[in-house]
Amino acid sequence: MKTPVVEVSNVKKVYGKAGENQSYALNGVSFTIHEGEFVGIMGPSGSGKTTLLNVISTLDQATEGMVRIAGSDITKMKQGALSDFRSQKLGFIFQDFNLLENLTIYENIALPLSLQGVTSRQIGPKVQKVAETLGITAILHKNPAEVSGGQKQRCAAARALVHEPAIILGDEPTGALDSKNATSLLTAMTNLNQEHGVSIMLVTHDAYSASYCERILFIQDGEMYKEIHRQSSREDFYREILDVLADLGTTKA
């Protein structure tokens, strides 16, 4: 039995004061992601998927419910502890890369380790290892302005992975990439998942990106709508995702 890496139980996120007009961004969401899973989160605009990502990533706090990551209940942590937990246990890949232009690719990847006080002697082998895994060793000396969008996103993926987090959270990571670079990144993420056992949660509106996941959780109006598992080819799974999105009233491919 695989160990749960993310456990979400009856999570609610309410905006507005009691007795006034309240809106539920999340309304009783529950699910589990196990170690080594590649799970997608999808839903129409305004469905609550971004709020869910923010709650899991410790950037926002649930109004009710429990979120446990790598065995720790983050809903009970103080702000300082949350900051430490985020830097040690979570890895992020954003749509817009979030690289520091005045640092080299190597320095960008090394940044999470530097912030944790890891020595440069220890950092070198870790950066080299993750750069080899993602095929970017040849550009480590370059600055972000000197490399392509696809290479920047691989750098961002390496930075998310270098401190060996419990899970990588992807927030529309292919959104700024053309189809060739998007496919390259998704293939790299699949390799990280299948060959290296990296747990990944991908929040996306894009059915093509989602088809690389092994399981998709659909959210509508702040509630779990449906869950589907990939059981055959990626192409068949892509069509199945499109069918569910059509039922939800959003057909973005």
Residue (of 239, 238, 215) closest to 228 by Cα position: 215
pLDDT (0 to 100) of residue 253: 45
- 3-state DSSP assignment of residue 16: coil
Could you read off the pLDDT of 48-106 as tens digits, one per residue?
999 999 999 999 999 999 999 999 999 999 988 998 899 899 999 988 888 999 999 99
Largest CA distance in the chain: 59
pLDDT of 163-213, one tens digit each?
999 999 999 999 888 999 999 999 999 999 999 999 999 999 999 999 999
The H or E element that residue 88 is part of is: helix 79-89
Predicted TM-score of the model (pTM) = 0.91
- Which superfamily does CATH assign the domain made up of 4-248 to? P-loop containing nucleotide triphosphate hydrolases (3.40.50.300)
Q: Other C-beta atoms within 10 Å of 123: how many?
A: 20
CA distances to 20, 222, 227 from 43, in Å? 27, 9, 11
Per residue in 206-239, pLDDT tens? 999 999 999 999 999 999 999 999 999 999 999 9
Residue closest to 52 by CA, chosen among 67, 74, 33, 69: 67
> Which residue bears the tokens 């007009």?
21
pLDDT band at 138 (very low <50, low <70, confident <90, very high): very high
Query: Where are the chain's structural domains?
Result: 4-248
Query: Under a CB-based contact definition with an 8 Å cutoff, are residues 160 and 105 in contact?
Result: no
